[in-house]
Structure formats: structure tokens, C-alpha cells
Amino acid sequence: MTDVHREESAPLYSLYSVDDERELFTVGDLSGFFVDADGDWRTFRALRCAASGRPAAGEVDELKVRVLDSRGGVLGSYDVSAVHIEEAEEEGQPVLEVTGYLLSRPHPLAPAAWDRWREPGELRAGAWASLPAPVRRAWLDCVRLHHFAAPRRTGADVSGGVYELDGRHITDWVGLYCALGEALRGPGGYFGGTLDALRDCLNGGFGVRAPFQLNWHSVATARAHLGDGYVDDVVETIRSAGATVTFP
């Protein structure tokens, strides 16, 4: 079992009650939440930073563990149901003990990925490329959660554009979807994480819709690491939606 522990006083997360549509607490470190463990029931501890102006209920039907950026904006969230919250002290600091049923299981390495998002300034292109393979998987999961927590799409999907897919770092299937989402939606963009999810995104509602042209650079890297069959399946999936794929 692995765990992630940090000593920080600034709010990194918030506990938001879906029942009451309000934030209950902002918290710093989460201990026991981002762990590699079986089962969907989980108890974790949170270093409390602040509470809302109204008393927090001990029982919450549905809770969102929200990941915060440095300005308090929501980067993504995890859903927990049938929640019980107890307040306590640990070494003179206020802590919360939270028990609940995970509706969305957090990747154990997600904090390392979220930290990249919290770095000052805009998220840079290719921020995922230097990550070790296990953290890349966490990154892709964070990209998906970010999309649904703060969707970028405003208005109708864009079609007719030309997009450049940088294939130099596509050395695994995770890298493929990281690079594809970035090509179509910008740094940290999401456009699927499996072939089925890619098909869903191509059907609309994810910011980009065919017809469009995708120029896949350095496709040989993906073919060498993923195999011709998988790359061809991805290309055929995109083309079948009415888009053009070229290999400059």
C-alpha cells in the first residue's frame, strides 16, 4: 500500500456537500485517500484549514473531494457517498476523519499529477511527457476529471480546423491520449482515454467535432511502441467520424 503525505497549511482540497450545495471545509493534506487499496469503502484524514460559516453535518449523503488550485479554483473532484465526518485534533492541529463509499476511486499517484497543475502560470504543452509511466496514468485520469469539473466548451463545438499532434512522446497508450487531447483541446485537454471514449468525444460535446484535419507527426514512434494494429484502429476511429488524418 502506498500513501501520499504532505505538510502544507494552504488549502489543497475542499469537502463540498452535494446535498446542501455548499463547501463544508477547506483542507490541506489528505492521508489515506490517495492509496493503492482494495475496496470502495475508505476512511481518510484531512488537515482542516477552515470551516464554512454554518455547522457541518456529521452525515453527508454525497460529498465531493475537490482538488483546488492556488487561487481556490476547482481542478477536479472525487465523489464519495454515505459519508460520516468527525472532527478531532492531532498534535494540536484540527483534523477531520472522513469515512465513505468511493463513487470515483482516486489514482494513488494523482497528487504528483495535480501538483503539475498547481504550478504558477499556464499549464505548458507537454507537461505530461517527462512523467514516469505510472504518473502518466494518473495524469490522464486528472485530465478527465478536470474536463468534467471545469469543461472548456462554451457554445457549439468547433469544426473545420487543422490540429497538430506531436507524436514524439507517444511511447504508451496513455501518452497517445494525453497527446491527442492536448492537440485538440490545448494543454491539459481531454479527448478520450480509450477507443470507446474517443468515439464518444468524436460524437460531439467535447469542444471539437468533425470535419477537421489532424496532422500526426512522428507516427513511427507510436507504431514502434503500440503496434501498427492499435495505431490503425485509432486512425480509423477518427476518420470514420468524418475527420482527416495525415502523417507529415
| 99-122 residue pLDDT tens | 999 998 899 999 999 998 888 788
Report the pLDDT value the prediction gives residue 67, as an integer from 0 to 100.
96
Q: Where are the alpha helices (DSSP H) in 85-241?
A: 110-118, 133-149, 173-185, 195-202, 219-226, 228-240
- Cα dihedral sign, 130-134-138-144: positive
Nearest one of 170, 55, 66, 186 to 123, comparing CA atoms: 186
| The three three-digit cell numbers of residue 233, written as one number | 484502429
Give the pLDDT score at 219.
98
> Which DSSP symbol is given to 95?
E
| Residue 156 to residues 50, 144, 159, 175, 187, Cα–Cα distance (Å) | 39, 20, 9, 28, 20
The pLDDT of residue 155 is: 61
1, 36 Cβ separation under 8 angstroms: yes
| Residue ranges in the chain modelled with pLDDT below 50 | 1-8, 153
Joined grid coordinates for residue 195: 477507443
DSSP secondary structure letter of residue 92: T
Instruction: Using a pLDDT cut of 70, give the percent of the chain over it.
Output: 92
User: Within its chain, how far is the Cα of 37 from the centroid?
Assistant: 19
CATH architecture of the domain with range 111-246 = 2-Layer Sandwich (3.30)
| pLDDT at residue 107 in the model | 95
Count the residues in the chain: 248
Closest-CA residue to 122 (of 206, 207, 186) = 186
pLDDT at 26: 93
Amino acid identity for residue 166 in this structure: D
Helices (H) and strands (E) in the chain, counts: 6, 9
Q: Kindly state the cell numbers that stand for 108.
A: 494513488
* Contact (Cβ atoms closer than 8 angstroms) between residue 225 and residue 136: no
| pTM of the shown model | 0.87
| Contact of 115 with 131, CB cutoff 8 Å | no
Q: What is the distance between the alpha carbons of residues 156 and 220, in angstroms, rounded to a whole number?
A: 34
* pLDDT score recorded for residue 2: 38
Q: What pLDDT, on the 0 to 100 scale, is given for residue 55?
A: 56
Calpha distance 139→174 (Å, rounded): 9
Mean residue pLDDT of the chain comes to 90
